[in-house]
Structures are given as structure tokens and as C-alpha cells.
Amino acid sequence: MQRILVTGGCGFIGSEFIRRQLATYDDVTIVNLDALTYAGNVENLAEIERHARYEFHKGDIADRDLVMRLLAGNPFDAVVNFAAESHVDRSLLDSGPFVRTNVVGTQVLLDACREAKVPRYVQVSTDEVYGSLGPTGLFTEETPLAPNSPYSASKAAADMLVHAYHHSFHFPAIITRCSNNYGPYQFPEKLLPLFITNLLANEQVPVYGSGQNVRDWIHVSDHCRGIDAALRRGKVGEVYNFGGRCEKTNLEITHLLLELLEKPKTLIRYVADRPGHDLRYAIDCSKAERELGWNPEVTFSEGLRSTIDWYRANSGWVSRVKSGEYRRYYTEQYGARLT
């Protein structure tokens, strides 16, 4: 039996990871530690919330006493750290929560894991730590870190702490860095869920600047298969990049969505650019393919269609998230049952 502590499991990617772990392995127990910030939604895990091998703790990874207690009282075979403030635009408005969760939270987790002698730790990081590319080239695991936004700076700081703990203390850590994820349950502040849900409601979509910025898109299920491969087969001390080999400009994505949803181009609204907007991200994921036997499986056209279908079929989830009502669901559903 493997006990895995997942942090940030009520978010977009962490919830996919937990659902997949429980469905794929009979011998895995998941303990989920999540602070339930605006991005954390227990409804994302409604289908497994009463699963015999699932346990939820509401709590902050930066709360040293709580994390020390949780780790000391529980033998874990692995810790996978998804918990983060994850939205670049929010980090430009206020970097405080990003430093607290992404940097201090990671430090606290590392200390608690060291003390409890956790044998394996995976830090879920991002390609944004590498900065921005020009029109050509790819990020490899050797690309120097050059983060540009407060979000990516906080993620890079966390990666450096993880590296330093491995280097100094032989702490058994692995870092994964992935490109832009899309799929079900993504909070509708990020490009794809924001644009899909706006267009379904016949509302305009705000394209930053010229719309020529490029991102490499990967379905969340492929990312989670990659994290699982790194957790089980990755070499301690290594970094693994994951990407979808699917570069698209934001305008290409916007036109594709308009076509698939049969909406007019008049719904495009060009707005002021994001300050310091990174031009292009593109990932070389050949190391993960070679060393972990992983590769992205979901094509963008198939993944985008199924994502649109999911948002269409889950209009209740969308409206509860957009109205903030999902927070009431948490109180009603769990009340005083949670720590």
C-alpha cells in the first residue's frame, strides 16, 4: 500500500491527478492537503470524496505547525506538491500570496519531509521558470532559469530551494516542468476556460495585445501521466520537462474556438497587453520520452473538443464557480467535519 500526500489536490491539475491515481492503482491511498483558496474547489473531487482510500485535510502548506504535525503523524511513501498560486495576472496585481505559498510553502514542506524522512518528493513546476523564447528554439532541462513574472519568479525560487535541498542534504526530490495545461475543471480565469465559457454565454473574449504570443498546449491528463511516471520511474535529483508539442498563438486558439462554437468574430475584443507578457513558450520533452517512457497522447483537436463538451455539459459547475457559490457548497457539504 502506497500513501501519497498530494498538496493542492482541489485545484485543476491536482484533482485530475488524484482521480487518476485512485482509478489506476488499487494500492494507493491519497491524503489531500489543500487550503481551499479561491482556486480550490472540493466539488472537483465530488466523485471520489467518499472513496475508502481518500482523505482530505483543509490546511495551508505554509503553516509550519500544521504541516509538521501532518507529516510527523503519518508515514508517507511520497509527497507531490501541486499547491500554488497559479495565475500570472493575479501575481501582477499582488505578489504577496505567491511568495507565501509558492516559496515559503515549498520550504515548509521540504523541511517537514526531511524531518519525516519522506523517501520521494515531486515538485510540480512550470516551463515559465525558463522565461521567454524568441521565434525559434525550445526549453530543455538545461535552459537557465530566467523568470519574468512574479508568479514564475516564485516558482523558480521554489525550484531552486528543491534543488538546494537535494544538493545539500541528498533530499530525494524530482522537479517536473510542464507547459500550458487545458481540460476539465480548470478555473475560468485561464485563457481556454475563460474563452470557452464566455463564448458559450455569447460574451466577448479579451485577447491581450496582438494575440501573437505562443503557448505549447498539453491536455491535463497527459501532464498527470507524466507526473506519475516521474514519481514512479524518475531519477532523484533530475528535472523532467513535459509539453504537448503543440504550439499555437492565442489568436489561432481564439479563431479555432469561434469556429468550433459557431460564434462571430465580433466577439473578439483586443485589450491592453499583459505587462511583461512572455512572447513564446515551447518545450523539448524528449528527456521524459526517452527516460520515463512517457509521451503526450491527446491531440489538440480531440482534447479541445472534449474540453468544450465538458464545459457545455457542466454549466452548473461553471455558474457556481463564476458566481462564487462553490464556496457555499463546501460549507454545506463539509461543515464542521473538516480540520
Q: Which residues bind ligand DAU (CB under 6 A)?
A: 86-88, 126-128, 179-180, 190-191, 194, 206-208, 213, 215, 250, 274, 281
Q: Which residue, among 57, 49, 14, 293, has the nearest Cα to 181 in the 3D structure?
A: 14
CB of residue 68 vs ligand DAU: minimum separation in angstroms? 27
Residue nearest to ligand NAD (CB): 11
CB of residue 176 vs ligand DAU: minimum separation in angstroms? 11
Question: Is 112 or 220 the residue whose CB approaches ligand DAU more closely?
Answer: 220
Out of ligand NAD, ligand DAU, none, what residue 159 binds, judged by CB under 5 to 8 A for its kind, is none
Out of ligand NAD, ligand DAU, none, what residue 88 binds, judged by CB under 5 to 8 A for its kind, is ligand DAU
In the complex, the residues that contact ligand NAD under the rule CB under 6 A are: 7-8, 10-14, 33-37, 39-40, 60-62, 82-86, 101, 105, 124, 126, 155, 178, 180-181, 187
Question: Is 68 or 194 the residue whose CB approaches ligand DAU more closely?
Answer: 194
Q: Which of these is catalytic: 16, 60, 128, 222? A: 128
CB of residue 228 vs ligand NAD: minimum separation in angstroms? 14
Out of ligand DAU, ligand NAD, none, what residue 7 binds, judged by CB under 5 to 8 A for its kind, is ligand NAD
Out of ligand NAD, ligand DAU, none, what residue 213 binds, judged by CB under 5 to 8 A for its kind, is ligand DAU
Question: Is 55 or 263 the residue whose CB approaches ligand NAD more closely?
Answer: 55
Question: Is 13 or 28 the residue whose CB approaches ligand DAU more closely?
Answer: 13
**Among this protein's residues, is 273 annotated catalytic?**
no
Q: Which of these is catalytic: 60, 127, 247, 278? A: 127
Q: Which residue, among 21, 8, 5, 238, has the nearest Cα to 118 in the 3D structure?
A: 5
**Among this protein's residues, is 128 annotated catalytic?**
yes
Cβ of 65: how many Cβ atoms within 10 Å? Answer: 9
Sign of the C-alpha dihedral, residues 40, 44, 47, 51? negative
CB of residue 168 vs ligand DAU: minimum separation in angstroms? 26
**Among this protein's residues, is 151 annotated catalytic?**
yes
The four Cα atoms 81, 192, 134, 98 give a dihedral, to 10 degrees, of -40
CB of residue 187 vs ligand DAU: minimum separation in angstroms? 9
Q: Which of these is catalytic: 130, 151, 281, 326? A: 151
Residue nearest to ligand DAU (CB): 126
Out of ligand DAU, ligand NAD, none, what residue 207 binds, judged by CB under 5 to 8 A for its kind, is ligand DAU
Residues 123/162, Cβ–Cβ less than 8 Å: yes
CA–CA separation, 214 vs 135, rounded Å?
9
Question: Is 202 or 278 the residue whose CB approaches ligand NAD more closely?
Answer: 278
CB of residue 218 vs ligand DAU: minimum separation in angstroms? 9
Out of ligand DAU, ligand NAD, none, what residue 329 binds, judged by CB under 5 to 8 A for its kind, is none
Residues with catalytic function: 127-128, 151
